[in-house]
Amino acid sequence: MGYRGIVKDHVVVLDEGVALQEGTLVEVTPVKELPAGSPGALLEVWGSDVPDEAWEAVERAIEEFDRSDREYERRKTRVSRLSVRHGRV
């Protein structure tokens, strides 16, 4: 079983409510910072009790944003190529 916490003044401070027996051997693994807005970052904010439907909605929104972004970049590239071909640089 794993526990989460932060390092404060060179000491690992576990999340509220976690109590380990004095002298308990632990293994600490630093967690890399998650990109803002990523599903993992949202999980950190919301906690693990997020309903599946909410995660599915987030994933659909991210996929739609990615599709829109790719389409925008594709059109921008196409317009640039057309401008160059017609001497409108």
Is residue 3 within 8 Å of 18, Cβ to Cβ? yes
Please, how many CA atoms are within 13 Å of residue 55, restricted to the half-sphere of its CB? 14
* pTM exceeds 0.85: no
Integer distance in angstroms from the first to the last C-alpha of the chain?
Answer: 61
Q: How sure is the predictor about 12, in pLDDT bands with cuts at 50, 70 and 90?
A: confident
Predicted local confidence at residue 64, as pLDDT: 92
Separation of alpha carbons 33 and 48, rounded Å: 18
Predicted local confidence at residue 13, as pLDDT: 86
pLDDT in tens, 45-61: 776 677 788 878 888 98
